[in-house]
Structure 1
Amino acid sequence: MKKIGIMMLLCMLAIGVQAQEERCPLHYEGSFSMGASSKDLSFMGANIDLGYSPIDRLSIHALAHSDFFIPKLGATKDYNNAVNLGGGIGYQLLNNKNWRMGTLELRGTLTTSLGSSTYKNTSYGVGLYFYKHSNAQRFQPVIGIGFNARNFHGNVPNFYGPYASLGIRF
């Protein structure tokens, strides 16, 4: 009788345990991006993205990225960089439940630079990002391509061009 009672207690405790399919709605991404040259200027930088998924296909993002602008004629100095903060929203076009290869997400972002810099700008971006949800791996690679428009506030001409991004999601 004692063994049966212990077994029933263990079974009742297991009922409250959630399955491993449950995923955390918070995620972090770290990535490096590089843009194509436009008007004798190209950029590359590091991005940090904190995302939250309140519902199944929608995600809200808080972004921070540091970009280094490279003029065609050289003259790379410390003032050729800008640190931007902003946010964005994403929608999963194809998710892991319907498409076994991973998730394809469309994101729109808006950031603005901090401090005073020659390259102070407001950035608008639209991109497609691919990543794979996996319960076995904590780190998933993220690949992104998109289009970026930067409205510079100084004497630098505005920048419009494609970019590519490669990073890690956890």
Structure 2
Amino acid sequence: MKYFITIVLFGAVLFSYFNSNITWYKHLFSGESEHWTATFSSVSHVLETDQEKPQNQHLVKYMTKNKLKLTFKGSLEQLGTHLRYSYEHHAIGGSASDRKSNKSTFHYKVFTSSGGSGGEMYYPKDMEFIPVHIEEGETIPVKIEWDGKTETLTLKKQ
């Protein structure tokens, strides 16, 4: 009996999976300044299920992963001992900082920051749910501060 219940539950999961609609959204941005290059990627998938709710809504499940990668063009000595960066867009944003102790310098010139979100909600059937909505032509500004210097990069959609 235990195996029968397991098989029925597994079948229900498979049925739910194959009767769902998965949509992928991918965004890639890049930019460059005098001392830095940067890329930003955002990948999302949305699973629209057949599970309905009154008022013409259905259950939508989503997951988004974002990653910012900064590369310093100069030498490690030029990078110094302190780094702070931030980026902000109406749909996404983040910041990070790193400080080396004892006046030692960084041992690397590539810095990454990643994050994500996910969840589920009921959403109108006649509307497209987009977790990270970025219009064509929009840019993402990235501000980088290091060793007493500041630069702002403008990341453009690729």
- TM-score, with structure 1 as normaliser: 0.35
Q: Relative contact order: is structure 1 or structure 2 higher (C-alpha 8 Å, sep ≥ 6)?
A: 2
